[in-house]
Structure 1
Amino acid sequence: MRKFLYSAVLLMTALRCQAQLPAAFTKETVYLWEKGSRNDQPTKESDRPLMDVYYPKNATTPHAAILICPGGGYGALAKDHEGKQLAEFFASHGIASAVVLYRVSPHRFPAPYADACRAMRLLRQNATKYHLDPARLGMMGFSAGGHLASTVTTQPDLYRDPDDNLAATVSARPDRAVLCYAVISMDDASAHQGSVKNLLGENPDPAQARQMSSYRHVTASTPPTFLWHTADDAGVPVQNSLLFAQACAEKKVPVALHIFPKGRHGVGMAPDDPTLRVWPQLLLTWLGDWPTEAK
């Protein structure tokens, strides 16, 4: 009987994580670049850089929003369990979001970075249309998507794409950062070599690898950051999150770091792990009133 009840709890949790979009929210697909332009040359239509925006239909007050960057080692995108499921979770708590499907290998830097910055700028530029508060736009990333999010967070003007007509007037800097088992370093023993190769090439210039190690670029103006990781992550060592959190602490940046003792890499919301599946609630607690209080 006890085993049956435990299985039932797991099933209910999994179903909650697969919840449909609430009736008050709708979804719109936005292509990041003009079709056929230099930044929109996919091998197939489904590979066009885009973002799916999940926003309230008839809001009377502006909402906070979180731009979500799925992981995949800069070689693929885990757009369901590290994208869509998070967007639906946020919507169920009244938080708008967008999932950015950025370019991956064979595209290298600055392509993914340009896509993520463009997505943030488009959200901010169209805040009124989507019932968003342009001063409350966060950025979240998983694994390599966490590297992308942390890079935009710490270096929002590292590269301005000449085809981004908003780059000179609209900031790409997020107001909050959420980094989930993120790749942070690209220049030491904790670097995830697959992400390094896909983003920077086979033998990257050491100076560029250092530039792309986001913990080195945390400043006092870096936005408040939430991180989580597992101590025995075999894909991306926990040292990555430790480096970023330490840099935040040194610069007096508000930071929350949760390290769980065990858990595999790439679990997303972790609905089948009784220990890890608490992290979304920890995130909501950390966000506090930020999603609901307009500045």
Structure 2
Amino acid sequence: MTGMTLLPRRSAPARRLHGNLVAALLLLSAEGLWAAGPPEQPPTFKHRPVAGAADHFDVPYLPDRRTERAWQDRWVTLNVHVPTGAEGSRPCIVFVHGGGYGGGDKDGGYRGAGGPPHALLEQAVREGFVAVNLNYILNVAPDGIFPQVWLDFKNAVRFLRANAGRYRIDPARIAAWGFSAGGWLAGSGSFTTADDTHRAPRTDPAADWHVRRQRDQHLLLPLDDPRTTQVDQSSRLTAIVADFWPNRHLDLYSADDPAVLTYVGSGAEHELVRLARRVGNEGVALVLTDPRFAGKASLHVPPVDSPCRTLDGSGRSTLKDEAFAWLKRKLVDAPRAVPPEARPIRRVFADAAAVRLLAASPADRIRYTLDGSEPTEKSPVYSAPFTVAQTTTVKAVVEADGFAPSAVATFTFTKGQPPPTIRGPDHLPLATVGRPYSVRFEPAGPGEYTWNVGSHATPEVKMHTRGLVKPPLGVLLDARTGVLSGTPTQAGAFTVTVHLARGLGQLADVRTYVLLVAAGESDGQRPADEK
């Protein structure tokens, strides 16, 4: 019997707006991440075939451990629309809906901030692109899904490359187009690497709120997924179009990140365009000519048919037509090779690390150095993993026929004490409403550790609540023992992100689970173990 049959039936449709998401439950501890899964009712937004395409709907892009036994999941699926007729592989655009990280859907909009409009998918296919539209985990307190949602985006790109043959995608030509939070997601997923970290606030409910918010009360989470199942695939993109950018990660934007296109009103300049110019990347802004936008340097989800100047200044166009023309230049007419990625994703090692370099396409060549110098045409071509036994800075560049060379990517492998790892469990045991529940998360070795879950406030309580919050789910994670225990009070499927570090201010391991809570007898259903 699948886990789906254990969940209570609800009338609310999947991925509805903020208010219904709150009712659907989103949390665990005082400020923890528990994102309730969608109910069994068919989703509000219906699939719409794209003219001229072979459609693949609701394709899961994350491993089974994130979705198995849970429900007919739409949170971590994507649609792929492959142009029919034309032979060979095609460039790909990944469209990412908006909704404040708390709503929206790949098959429908959200208060005008969703998308992509269906006509945009059809235009992409007409112009020869494989069009992908993506769903992702949601939370009304967005920090509760950071950085997991960004890591999931990286893994979605890796999934597309791993399945490039099936969907006729050219793995060297993938871009993203994000709307509102979707632009933030695409940017955060692409401006960051395994060498970067995210500060996650301490969520121990035994600590005072003011203490937990101090800078030294954070854990450092990796901004790539050390447990990715697509370990041989790159998550790098060529270009991004978006209206809303990840301000907290703009300081990480560098020359080896994707080229960016955004929108401004007449007489304005976007911060990201200035930043791209400063770091030696390409950042351009479409100037929208609607008088309502005049002087505005940041436009939030302007209509895709908004009038604009052409990028060369020679005439008039529309936002969507000019954005497609720019993407065609970046992906087809004058492409630049995608910079490489490196493995292992865990950059700190105790004795030695076996380093692998990955290109976006098997046809690409990688040249690299190990002394911190810039690679040249005389640098060795990567052909097999190599071992580093001391702290080492690796620099690498990709060459590909028909492409300009990539920007130089830099990877630092540090000799020191690696962060601890969460060894298990592999899956969380089933819980039942009204029955005591307990599971221990196991570190890979003995020691003094700090356990943590997610971040930010529950939907029921203001973000700056100073006291403790009683979680409606009824279970808490002990920050010292790593034991999750309590008596569940509500049925559902919940995404649980757990962090483990040797102490505050240190690099942590991250592991994400699905917890199923079955309805008990009081809910009109027999407990799962009696069925």
Same fold, judged at TM 0.5 (above): yes
TM-score by length of 1: 0.69
Amino acid at match of 1:121: R
Partner letter of residue 73 of structure 1?
G
* Farther-moved stretch of structure 1 (102-111 vs 285-294): 285-294
Structure 2 residue 284 is the aligned partner of structure 1 residue 256: yes
Partner of 2:465: none
Residue 90 of structure 2 corresponds to which residue in structure 1? 63
Rounded to whole Å, the distance in 2 between the matches of 1:246 and 1:278 is 23
Q: Larger C-alpha radius of gyration, 1 or 2?
A: 2
> Which residue of 2 is the match for residue 160 of structure 1?
224
Change (3 A) 1:66 1:42: farther
Q: Is the 8 A contact 2:307 2:319 kept in 1?
A: no
Query: What corresponds to 2:241 in structure 1?
Result: 178
d(CA) in 2 for partners of 1:42 and 1:217? 38
Taking a change above 3 Å as real, the CA distance of residues 57 and 46 of structure 1, as seen in their structure-2 partners, is: same
> By percentage of residues, which structure has more strand?
2
**Whole-angstrom distance in 2 between the partners of 1:131 and 1:83:** 21
Unaligned runs of at least 5 residues, structure 1: 1-18, 186-212, 232-237
1:139 Cα deviation from its structure 2 partner: 1.5
State the 1:165 CA deviation. Answer: 0.8
1:115 equivalent to 2:152? Answer yes
Matches for 1:1-295 after TM superposition, within 5 Å:
21-35=50-64, 37=65, 39-40=66-67, 45=72, 47-57=74-84, 59-79=86-106, 80-81=108-109, 82-83=115-116, 85=118, 86-105=120-139, 107-157=144-194, 158=196, 159-166=223-230, 168-179=231-242, 181-185=243-247, 213-230=248-265, 242-260=270-288, 261-262=291-292, 265-269=300-304, 271=305, 278-292=318-332
Q: Distance in 2 between matches of 1:66 and 1:33?
A: 19
- Hey, what's the Cα distance between the residues in 1 that align with 2:332 and 2:256? 23
* Residue 47 to residue 63, structure 1, CA distance change in 2 (3 Å): closer
Please say if residues 154 and 235 of structure 2, whose CA atoms lie closer than 8 Å, have aligned partners that are also in contact.
yes
Shift of 1:278: 1.0
Q: Give the C-alpha shift of residue 94 in structure 1.
A: 1.6
Q: Which amino acid in 2 is paired with 1:89?
A: Q
Deviation at 1:150, TM superposition (A): 0.8
CA distance in 2, matches of 1:288, 1:178: 12
| Shift of residue 292, structure 1, vs aligned partner | 4.3
Contiguous gaps of at least 5 residues in structure 2: 1-47, 110-114, 197-222, 294-298, 310-316, 334-401, 404-531
Q: CA offsets, 1:41-77, max 9 Å, x none?
A: 8986354311111112454221100111111111112
Report the secondary structure of 2:170's partner residue: strand
State the partner residue of 1:201: none
Distance (whole Å) between structure 1 residues aligned to residue 98 and residue 162 of structure 2: 25
Name the SS of the counterpart of 2:164 in structure 1: coil
Q: Which residue of 1 aligns with 2:366?
A: none
Q: Please give the secondary structure, in 2, of the residue aligned with 1:45.
A: coil
RMSD (Å), alpha carbons: 3.1
Letter in 2 for 1:282: E
**Amino acid of the residue matched to residue 144 of structure 1?**
A
Count of residue pairs the alignment pairs up: 237
Q: What is the CA-CA distance between 1:140 and the residue it aligns to?
A: 1.7
